[in-house]
Chain A
Amino acid sequence: MILYLLVAVSLGASVAFAIVTDFWKDSNEIGSSDGNDVYFSNQFTVTDGKNRIRIKDYEDRF
């Protein structure tokens, strides 16, 4: 009985902790930098590439 009570209260408290902190994050943390760097204008080109290599075959390039 005590074991069930302990587990139930722990479960309740941890779920409450997750929900409240999630709301807290939405409420009190304003602004995010996620995805900000995508606005850099850039040109990206892969000039050479090999798939499924053995590292030792390419070590001399470093």
Chain B
Amino acid sequence: MITKCKFCGGALKYDADIRRMVCEYCSSMFDVEDTEEEKEYEKMQAMSAGKNPDDAIGQAVFTPENETMDMSLYHCSSCSGELYLNQTEVASYCPYCGQPTIVFERIAKTRKPDYIIPFKITKEYAVASIREKFFKGHFIPKELKYFKAELLRGIYVPYYLYDMLYKDRQIIRAKFEEKNSKGEKSSVTYDFYREAVASFQEIPVDASKKIPNEITEKLEPFYTADLIDFQAGYLSGFYADLQDDSDYTLRNIARRRARDRFNKLLYDDLMAKECQTLKSKPTCSFEKEAYALLPVWFMVFTYEGDSYTILVNGQTGKVVGGVPSDKNKIALWFSLITLLVSVPAYHILQLVFDPVLFQSSDSILSAMWVPLVLISAAFTAGLKNYRSVRKSQALTRAETIKTLVGKREGRKK
């Protein structure tokens, strides 16, 4: 593969918009497949001239015998993150923590991926998608809405795609709602026995420890119809993170995803209101696995001393992340709504709990359960929302990635 222009020698980069390799200097365009053939030709020429073919090419090198390739490994001294680049690229800052503390470490031999989904979403489109989300947000600080497009970096995230056969026999306790002859609803519970088999194709599992699985699962779906055989030319202009999670862990995650999906299908089959598995005997076999690189845009920014990461699916444009909040705006809205509800509520309470009707304070207290239930329901709903947003913010804060990487480093020691 050449990643240099055959006309002017400039670096070629993959352009997601036109899906071709483009020379940054003379604007010549090449198909990725053509550059692959060109590289093979150069390699053969170099070999026939008695030279080392790798020297002739000077770029990412495939060794088909062992299905590996050479990549430049960069290391971040701030978060300990590692990332790989096609050798024509130079990293200027860490896409995980946003710090300019990234240094070239060495040329590393890595497993060549089987497939790749090239970036279909351009940087401009990714920026526009994030801006659209930010502008729609009522509580997103104004200054964030005008972020710099340079903050975005395209990274190919490593995934394993598993084909699996999942079988299980289960005793399920299911709750149904039934109506009697008078039309009154009641709840009944029955036990069921089910045996079922499911075959799953291409369940994706993120193979990088640096990005929590909860985030990558939110980034899905990735449509595998766009998968093509891996060609290193697609990496030009992008970073690549390669597998650092163990096969054992990845298979366990795939098993968990298959089990969850299987149980959902099984429960749907019963059409009950609630289902619970009492006994089960699952068996799971892996039919096929493939190593693929999938495209993700990363945007790391800092707000009030904390780093946040927003991700954009490089195939579909789906945006994922937890954005910091404008606390003053939240406090203002909270105070206003409290006032707007409390004043009428106070008058309604005075009218409803009229001392003439409720002759003793005991009877008033005993009738207070209605507003107390309302308070409790509203508070519970609020707490659920609060936890959900805080969890989302914590997950996408680069600090989380730092901690994960730190833990990994700790295990190595």
**What total count of A-B pairs have CB within 8 Å?**
220
A41 to B229, CA, bound (A): 20
Which A residues touch B323, using CB under 8 A?
Answer: 27-28, 30
B389 adjacent to A36 (CB under 8 Å): no
Task: Identify the closest chain A residue to B333 (Cβ).
Answer: A20
Q: For the complex, would chain A's binding face be called helix, strand, loop or mixed by DSSP majority?
A: helix
Task: Identify the closest chain A residue to B345 (Cβ).
Answer: A8
Task: Identify the closest chain B residue to A50 (Cβ).
Answer: B193
B350 adjacent to A4 (CB under 8 Å): yes
A5 adjacent to B346 (CB under 8 Å): yes
B191 adjacent to A31 (CB under 8 Å): no
Q: Confirm or deny: B360 has a beta carbon within 8 angstroms of a beta carbon on chain A.
A: no
A12 to B194, CA, bound (A): 49
Which A residues touch B311, using CB under 8 A?
Answer: 31
Mask, A44-59, CB within 8 Å of B = 1, is 1111111111110011
Q: Confirm or deny: B9 has a beta carbon within 8 angstroms of a beta carbon on chain A.
A: no
B347 CB, min distance to chain A CBs, angstroms? 8
Q: For the complex, would chain B's binding face be called helix, strand, loop or mixed by DSSP majority?
A: helix
B322 CB, min distance to chain A CBs, angstroms? 6
Interface size class of A (residues with CB under 8 A): 35 or more
Q: Confirm or deny: B171 has a beta carbon within 8 angstroms of a beta carbon on chain A.
A: yes
A41 CB, min distance to chain B CBs, angstroms? 5
Which A residues touch B138, using CB under 8 A?
Answer: 23-24, 26-27
Residue with the greatest number of chain B CB neighbours at <10 A, chosen from A19, A31, A45, A51? A31
A50 adjacent to B192 (CB under 8 Å): yes
Which B residues touch A20, using CB under 8 A?
Answer: 330, 333-334, 337, 382
The 7 closest A-B pairs by CB, nearest first: A12-B342, A31-B320, A21-B385, A17-B382, A16-B337, A27-B137, A8-B346
Residues on A lying within 8 angstroms of B by beta carbon are 3-5, 7-33, 36-37, 39-55, 58-59, 61-62
Can you name 16 A-B pairs with beta carbons within 8 Å? A3-B368, A8-B346, A11-B341, A11-B342, A12-B337, A14-B375, A15-B374, A16-B341, A18-B385, A24-B330, A27-B136, A28-B324, A30-B322, A49-B194, A52-B191, A58-B279
